[in-house]
Chains A and B, each alone.
Chain A
Amino acid sequence: GDSVTQMEGPVTLSEEAFLTINCTYTATGYPSLFWYVQYPGEGLQLLLKATKADDKGSNKGFEATYRKETTSFHLEKGSVQVSDSAVYFCALSAPSAGGTSYGKLTFGQGTILTVHP
């Protein structure tokens, strides 16, 4: 079945450091890929997305490129801020058997990011 593997955390960085969170996936077919972020006590917020090979999703300084050859979708940010402290989830959406539904997201285990001033 489909699966997503994220680098283990937690990740602790100083403000303005470079961030990389690795994500690799296994899926049948051609999935769409997402990064979601969860702040304490809140639901998930969509951070960025990509739907085909070599697509680059970007938002709020975060970027990720859909690499089909390495089945990866690594999240990067050039200069993190304290406000980026949160849990980050990589996820994929692939069609169900029969292709009638894309409504199931398969998530990685999440990576806790803490940024210190």
Chain B
Amino acid sequence: KAGVTQTPRYLIKTRGQQVTLSCSPISGHRSVSWYQQTPGQGLQFLFEYFSETQRNKGNFPGRFSGRQFSNSRSEMNVSTLELGDSALYLCASSFYLDRPYEQYFGPGTRLTVT
């Protein structure tokens, strides 16, 4: 079974631009979560989608948004990019609706904002 895929793997954007990242979950998984990884803040939860609905959201500004499609694929969007948005963005998918809620991660998208 193919793992979680994320595209693109690397991205360079300029401050003020917007960016869209894509995540395809493992076949059969209906829940997708997004995380931001930086050296200073570590791994931080952005949001979770299940059946096209956002079920949980982390403490990020409204410039960070996401959505999920009927085939469970998910996108996240960052508008008005800031230098501090440079990070590895990780997507994770899960099959289960409740515990133990194992999440399987993709390789990430490395975003650099200049």
Show the binding face of A for B, using Cβ within 8 Å.
32, 34, 36, 41-46, 49, 51, 89, 93, 96, 100-110
Complex contact B33–A51 (CB within 8 A): no
Chain A residues in 8 Å Cβ range of B90: 43-44
Binding site for A on B (CB under 8 A): 4, 31, 33, 35, 42-43, 45, 48, 50, 55-56, 58, 90, 92, 94, 96, 98-108
Residues of A within 8 A of B45 (CB): 104-106
Contact B101 A32 (CB under 8 A): yes
Q: Residues of B contacting A103 with CB < 8 Å? A: 31, 33, 48, 50, 55-56, 94, 101, 103
B104 touches A102 (CB 8 A): no
For the complex, give the distance between the alpha carbons of A5 and B105 in Å.
21
Instruction: Report which of A32, A43, A109 forms a contact with B42, defined as CB distance below 8 A.
Output: A109
Q: Are B42 and A107 in contact (CB under 8 A)?
A: yes
Chain A residue numbers with a CB within 8 Å of B104 are 46
**CB pair B56 A96 closer than 8 Å:** yes
Contact at A32–B31, with CB atoms within 8 Å?
no
Ordered by A's residue number, 26 sampled pairs between the chains whose C-beta atoms are within 8 Å are A32-B99, A34-B102, A42-B107, A43-B90, A43-B107, A46-B104, A89-B43, A93-B101, A93-B103, A96-B55, A96-B56, A101-B50, A101-B55, A102-B96, A102-B99, A102-B101, A103-B48, A103-B50, A103-B55, A103-B101, A104-B33, A104-B45, A105-B35, A105-B45, A106-B45, A107-B42
